[in-house]
């Protein structure tokens, strides 16, 4: 039953661009898919691996710039997206040796510095010739007119749904079990023969790849990329909010949290100067009232537990 419901939902969402729904609905759904993929990957790191990573904007920016610069060099946009995923994965691998020497709050601070360093680099670096748009190394995506909005929407849908399937696969595999052991007690996991560094590296690279993929699709839709908004703490805040509000270490948490985050994104658009403050207050309230998020509140409801159990059994 659970698979059937998901299949019906995916088919319905895939039909949205072709059944005459308002463009605003498609935009809301597009943002939901992108943020959902990123939130799932942050949940993989922070919730299931115990890695409070704050460098997700680095993966988003590197993949986005790779795709955009590729269009300037004559590379098709789809090949640029693939290249962006590869670059984001390689970058995650390269910095892992340094950041994994840290733990706890020091790991979080160490990863927070990474996107800031990249932001300064892309402010000063001019990857390709020609006039830049706006401040810093900002570039328009070339030949974006050849890509239909329906194509971008469906691509985002695939990314969002794939992130859910990937999380389900990881959590039911030996990798997921090993990550849970590391999260609970890293020393005990190592003493039991778990290769702590390798499993952390796997989760870090997977998170970087999928986050980069979602970022590249996002900037394909935007048609423009620049360092200030790309390597920005707002990305980290949104992913953290989506995961914590929905329920960290739960499969349904990022889905619930992403719905709320997308709603807040458009609701607070006119209050850009105060949006981070408002989101921070919401985050603090959720952590004080329900540390397990909305999913935790729902799981305490017997009707919800009965529905989930029935869906699993059928």
136-145, 265-274, 302-311 — which is least confidently predicted? 302-311
Write phi, then psi, for 250 (nearest 5 degrees): -130, 150
The tokens for 250 are 């739960």
| Whole-number Å distance between alpha carbons of 213 and 38 | 9
Closest CA to 39 of 265, 195, 307, 220: 265
Region 41-66: what's the mean pLDDT?
93
Percent of the chain surpassing pLDDT 70:
89
Q: How far apart are CA 81 and CA 88, in angstroms?
A: 11
Looking at the predicted structure, is the pLDDT value of residue 4 above 70? no
Residues 286-312: pLDDT tens digits?
777 777 788 777 766 654 554 455 455
Provide the residue ranges of all domains of the chain, joining segments of one domain with +. 2-232
Q: How far apart are CA 226 and CA 131, in angstroms?
A: 13
pLDDT range class, residue 60, cuts 50, 70, 90? very high
Query: In which residue are the tokens 């691996």 written?
Result: 49
Report residue 230 as tokens: 């790309």
Higher per-residue confidence, 122 vs 41: 41
Specify the pLDDT at position 96. Answer: 92
237's tokens: 């805040």
For the stretch 190-241, pLDDT in tens is: 787 888 888 989 999 999 999 999 999 999 999 999 998 899 988 998 899 8
CA distance 281 to 271: 15
Average model confidence (pLDDT) across the chain: 86
Give the tens place of pLDDT for each residue, 118-128.
Answer: 998 888 777 76
Rounded Cα distance between 263 and 161, Å, is: 19
Measure the CA–CA gap between 245 and 67, rounded to whole angstroms.
32
pLDDT band at 137 (very low <50, low <70, confident <90, very high): low
Residue 162, pLDDT score = 96
Instruction: Give the mean pLDDT of 249-265.
Output: 90
Mean pLDDT of 61-76: 93
Least confident of 7-21, 65-79, 126-140, 172-186: 126-140
- Residue 257's pLDDT is 92
How many residues would you count in the chain?
Answer: 314
Rg of the chain taking only CA atoms, in angstroms: 20
HEC assignment per residue over the chain: CHHHHHHHHHHHHHHHHHCCCCHHHHHHHHHHHHHHHHHHHHHHHHHHCCCCCCCHHHHHHHHHHHHHHHHHCCCCHHHHHHHHHHHHHHHHHHHHHHHCCCCCHHHHHHHHHHHHHHHHHHHHCCCCCCCCCCCCCCEECCCHHHCCHHHHHHHHHHHHHHHHHHHHHHHCCHHHHHHHHHHHCHHHHHHCCCCHHHHHHHHHHHHHHHHHHHHHHHHHHHCEECHHHHCCHHHHHHHHHHHHHHCCCCCCHHHHHHHHHHHHHHHCHHHCCCHHHHHHHHHHHHHHHCCCHHHHHHHCCHHHHHHHHHHHHC
pLDDT for the residue 134? 47
């Amino acid at each position: 039953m659970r698979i059937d419901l998901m299949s019906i939902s995916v088919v319905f969402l895939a039909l949205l661009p072709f059944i005459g729904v308002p463009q605003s609905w498609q935009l809301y759904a597009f943002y939901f898919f992108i943020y959902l993929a990123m939130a799932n990957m942050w949940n993989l790191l922070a919730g299931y691996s115990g890695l409070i990573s704050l460098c997700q904007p680095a993966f988003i920016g590197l993949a986005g710039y790779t795709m955009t610069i590729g269009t300037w060099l004559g590379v098709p946009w789809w090949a640029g997206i693939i290249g962006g995923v590869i670059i984001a994965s390689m970058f995650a691998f390269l910095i892992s040796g340094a950041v994994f020497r840290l733990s706890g709050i020091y790991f979080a601070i160490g990863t927070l510095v990474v996107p800031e360093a990249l932001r300064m680099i892309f402010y000063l670096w001019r990857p390709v010739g020609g006039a830049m748009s706006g401040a810093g190394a900002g570039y328009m995506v070339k030949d974006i007119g050849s890509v239909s909005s329906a194509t971008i929407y469906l691509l985002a849908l695939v990314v969002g749904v794939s992130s859910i399937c990937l999380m389900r696969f990881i959590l039911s595999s030996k990798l997921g079990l090993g990550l849970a052991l590391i999260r609970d007690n890293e020393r005990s996991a190592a003493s039991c023969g778990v290769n702590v560094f390798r499993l952390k590296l796997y989760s870090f690279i997977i998170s970087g790849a999928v986050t980069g993929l979602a970022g590249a699709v996002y900037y394909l839709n935007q048609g423009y990329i620049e360092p200030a908004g790309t390597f920005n703490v707002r990305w980290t805040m949104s992913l953290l909010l989506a995961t914590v509000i929905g329920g960290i270490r739960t499969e349904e948490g990022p889905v619930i949290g992403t719905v709320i985050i997308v709603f807040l994104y458009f609701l607070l658009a006119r209050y850009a100067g105060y949006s981070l403050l408002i989101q921070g207050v919401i985050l603090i309230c959720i952590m004080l009232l329900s540390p397990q998020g909305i999913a935790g509140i729902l799981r305490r409801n017997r009707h919800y537990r009965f529905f989930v159990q029935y869906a699993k059994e059928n």
